[in-house]
Amino acid sequence: MKLVVLFMLVTIPICCYASGSGCIILDEIINKTIDSSVSEDEYLQLLSPYIYTPLTRNAATEFKQCFLAQDNATLENVNVMMEAIYDSNSCQESS
């Protein structure tokens, strides 16, 4: 289970590199993950096109629960981290 969550975290910068944060779906998923006002059920509904197994569903639920357990300052720091990733040299689209 922890390995699935790790893979989910690792794909964020990879997707960013591939799309330069221009992926509306990825941005929406990240924002809904961080947003504490979004319930687990709403989050799972958003991810439903990408959830194929109970294991994936459990991983997504635990992943969201990790963010629901954080205070607002920590969630804001995650937003800052995501912006730093998107603005990094490794994530810039080549011309």
pLDDT at 44: 94
The residue segments making up the domain with residue 6 are 2-89
| 40 touches 65 (CB < 8 A) | yes
Higher pLDDT, 4 or 87: 87
In angstroms, rounded to a whole number, what is the distance separating the alpha carbons of residues 54 and 46?
Answer: 16
In angstroms, rounded to a whole number, what is the distance separating the alpha carbons of residues 23 and 91?
Answer: 13
Domain count, the chain: 1
Asked if residue 24 is part of any domain, the answer here is yes
Q: How confident is the model at residue 80 (pLDDT cuts 50, 70, 90)?
A: confident
Q: Whole-model pTM above 0.75?
A: no
Asked if residue 95 is part of any domain, the answer here is no
Asked if residue 23 is part of any domain, the answer here is yes
Asked if residue 11 is part of any domain, the answer here is yes
Asked if residue 9 is part of any domain, the answer here is yes
